[in-house]
C-alpha cells in the first residue's frame, strides 16, 4: 500500500504524523504536502494515507474536491505480512499517482492504490499506482 517513500536522500514513512510527500506542481516545482490523516489528527479529510482508484472512479472522494497529482519518489516501500520492508526503485520517467484532497483550508495528499501486480501479491494486496510522467 506504500508505507514509505524515498526522495532526494530523504525517507518519509506514513506512521510519522509529520510525514509529507513531494508533489510536482504544474510549473515543475516541488511542494511538500501532508500525507493523509491519522486518528489523533484533527480535520475533516478521510483517515489514512491512501485512496483506492476504484473509490475515486465511483465518486467517493468527490466531496473533497480531488485533484490528481504526481508524487515524486525515487523509491517506495511496502511491508509484507511479517512486517518486513521491501523497497522498489522507480525510474526517472515514473511517479506515484496521488490525490490532493481539500476540505476548507485543510489540504492533504493520498497515495492512489490499485490491486497488487500478481508477482507482488505475496507482499501486499494493494499497490501504489505508478504512472509515466511528462518532463
pLDDT tens column, 18-36: 999 999 987 888 999 999 9
Domain count, the chain: 1
Choice among 46-50, 57-61, 119-123 with the minimum mean pLDDT: 119-123
Q: Which of 37, 58, 17 is nearest to 110 (CA)?
A: 37
Structure confidence at residue 95 as a pLDDT band (50, 70, 90): very high
The Cβ of residue 28 has, within 10 Å, a number of other Cβ atoms equal to 7
- CA 34-4-47 angle, to 5 degrees, is 45
pLDDT(67) > 90: yes
Task: Supply the pLDDT for residue 121.
Answer: 86
pLDDT at position 120 is 87
What is the domain extent for residue 38?
Answer: 4-132
Identify the CATH number of the domain in which residue 103 sits: 3.90.1680.10
131 and 97 in contact (C-beta within 8 Å)? yes
Alpha carbons 10 and 76: distance in angstroms, whole number: 12
Question: CB 98: neighbour CB atoms within 10 A?
Answer: 29
Residues in the chain: 135
- Could you tell me which residues come within 8 angstroms of residue 53 by beta carbon, excluding any fewer than 6 positions away? 112, 113, 114, 129
Q: What does the pLDDT read at residue 27?
A: 83
Mean pLDDT over 86-110 rounds to 96
The predicted model gives 91-119 an average pLDDT of: 95
Amino acid at each position: 500500500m506504500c508505507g514509505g517513500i524515498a526522495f532526494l536522500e530523504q525517507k518519509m514513512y506514513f506512521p510519522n504524523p509529520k510525514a509529507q510527500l513531494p508533489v510536482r506542481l504544474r510549473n515543475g516545482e516541488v511542494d511538500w504536502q501532508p500525507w493523509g490523516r491519522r486518528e489523533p489528527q484533527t480535520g475533516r479529510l478521510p483517515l489514512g494515507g491512501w485512496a483506492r482508484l476504484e473509490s475515486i472512479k465511483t465518486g467517493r472522494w468527490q466531496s473533497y474536491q480531488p485533484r490528481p497529482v504526481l508524487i515524486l519518489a525515487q523509491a517506495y516501500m511496502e511491508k509484507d505480512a511479517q512486517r518486513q520492508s521491501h523497497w522498489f526503485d522507480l525510474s526517472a520517467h515514473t511517479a506515484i499517482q496521488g490525490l490532493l484532497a481539500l476540505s476548507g483550508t485543510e489540504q492533504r495528499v493520498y497515495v492512489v492504490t490499485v490491486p497488487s501486480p500478481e508477482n507482488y501479491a505475496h507482499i501486499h494486496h494493494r499497490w501504489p499506482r505508478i504512472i509515466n510522467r511528462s518532463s
